[in-house]
Amino acid sequence: MNWPHKDLLDVSQLSREDVDVVMRTAASFREINARPVKKVPTLKGKSVVLFFAEPSTRTKTSFDIAGKRLSADTFGLAKSGSSLQKGETLKDTVLTLQAMNPDAIVMRHSSSGAADFVARRVSCAVINAGDGWHAHPTQALLDLFTLREVWGDDLVGKTVTILGDVAHSRVARSNIRLLTMLGVTVRLCAPRTLLPKDARALGAKVFHELEPALDSADAVMCLRLQLERQEAGLLPDLREYARRFCLTKARLKNAAPDVKVLHPGPINRGVEIASDLADAGNSLILDQVASGVAVRMAILYLHITRKEKGETA
């Protein structure tokens, strides 16, 4: 299959067949990450710019490792070290990067739509590593890869509860779009102030109390509570939030017997998830991190080699 997409802006652009291709490609690369020498020449001579205008530990490092394990040259650029701090526009910054002829730009930005803005102005692939509250497609794909490792390829009939600050979460939005497309029942649980106004329109069931949202759930995805939400008046008190919504082992008693727990990180232990649950055997949090490298290797490979395959066909 010739990969049909120049860019990855959100999972909504992907068909089920596209998603399967990403999953199969990631599975083929996963083995590389377990080798003593974790490197193959697949993308030798290719250049990947990691343009992160927002702070990131997991996503940036994961893309960096993914690129290097495929032998691509990766170049990191942060807002603090770029001309954006001198007043240069985003357009001029990316056109400058484009003039250096990279094969892909991996981009994170605080503004929703920033990745799309850049993709329409450069000829190389643009991979959205998170834009505002809009989308985080590679996080959703790695979450799916992690769940398929446990449940197999068919997720129809499974129930996933997404718990926490859904309103301000690009991770939640991309996961809702991807999981509902694959036949998963998605529940959202949060205080009313942390749910988007169009929550039901997203195709998810909405809960304001934790216990019914967890009933018979096959997996629970906790979201990081951004502590500045309290300053914004969206939460009365962190202790009260934790009392009502912190995920604990006891609160999972009515979930499915083998319920799995996910979190995209970073974690506020004791606020959105109990510390002992984050480290428990049914926690997939570190599996998500490992999946991220394989999935991002697949994403880089499919987008960077797309044109070459098309020319050969």
Annotated binding site for L-aspartate: 86, 170, 224
**CA–CA distances in Å: residue 160 to residues 10, 221, 300, 310:** 20, 7, 28, 38
Structure tokens of 246? 């912190």
Residue 229's pLDDT band (boundaries 50, 70, 90)? Answer: low
Strands laid side by side in the 73-78 sheet:
73-78, 47-52, 104-109, 125-131
pLDDT in tens, 157-172: 999 999 999 998 999 9
Note the pLDDT tens digit of each residue in 95-152.
998 999 999 999 999 999 999 999 999 999 999 999 998 999 999 999 999 999 999 9
Residue 313: per-residue pLDDT: 35
- 310 pLDDT exceeds 60? no
pLDDT at 230: 61
The position carrying tokens 């083929």 is: 28
Is the peptide bond between 266 and the residue preceding it cis, with omega within 30 degrees of 0? Answer: yes
Binding-site residues from annotation for carbamoyl phosphate: 58-59, 108, 136, 139, 265-266
Average pLDDT on 194-220 reads: 93
Task: Give residue 220's Cα distance to chain centre.
Answer: 16
pLDDT at 225: 85
pLDDT at 176 over 60: yes
First-last CA distance in the chain: 10
Cα–Cα dist 140/145, whole Å: 9
Domains 7-136+291-305 and 137-289 share a fold: yes
CA-closest candidate to residue 221, choices 300, 311, 139: 139
Rounded CA separation 190/207 (Å): 7
pLDDT number for residue 307 = 67
Annotated binding site: 58-59, 86, 108, 136, 139, 170, 224, 265-266
Q: Does pLDDT of 86 surpass 80? A: no
Cα separations in angstroms, 5 against 80, 261, 296: 31, 32, 15
Question: Crossing angle of helices 58-69/285-304, nearest 10°?
Answer: 50
pTM for the model:
0.93
* pLDDT at site 245: 94
Q: Which of 81-90, 235-244, 290-299 has the lowest mean pLDDT?
A: 81-90
* Cα–Cα distance for residue pair 270/248, rounded to 1 Å: 9
Q: Please give the average per-residue pLDDT across 79-92, as a whole number.
A: 75
Mean pLDDT of the chain: 92
Average the pLDDT over each of 25-34, 59-68, 235-244 and give the range with the smallest value: 235-244
pLDDT band at 303 (very low <50, low <70, confident <90, very high): very high
d(CA 111, CA 91): 13
| Fold that domain 7-136+291-305 belongs to in CATH | Rossmann fold (3.40.50)
Give the start-to-end residue ranges of the domains of the chain: 7-136+291-305, 137-289
**Reported confidence tier of residue 309, pLDDT bands at 50, 70, 90:** low
From CA 227, how far away is CA 204, in angstroms rounded? Answer: 25
How confident is residue 312, by pLDDT bands cut at 50, 70 and 90?
very low
Instruction: Report pLDDT for 48.
Output: 97
pLDDT (0 to 100) of residue 276: 98
CATH of 137-289, picked from 3.40.50.1370, 1.10.1060.10, 3.40.367.20, 3.30.70.100, is: 3.40.50.1370
Find out whether 11 and 135 touch, Cβ atoms under 8 Å: yes
Task: State both tokens at 174.
Answer: 């991309």
Q: Six-digit token pair at 191?
A: 């205080």
Q: Which residue pairs, CB below 8 angstroms and at least 24 apart, start in 196-205? A: 196/166, 196/167, 199/166, 202/173, 202/176, 202/177, 203/176, 204/162, 204/176, 204/180
**Range of lowest pLDDT (56-60, 75-79, 207-211, 246-250):** 75-79
For 231-281, how does the pLDDT look when each residue is reduced to its tens digit (9 = 90+)? 666 776 788 889 999 999 999 999 999 999 999 999 999 999 999 999 999
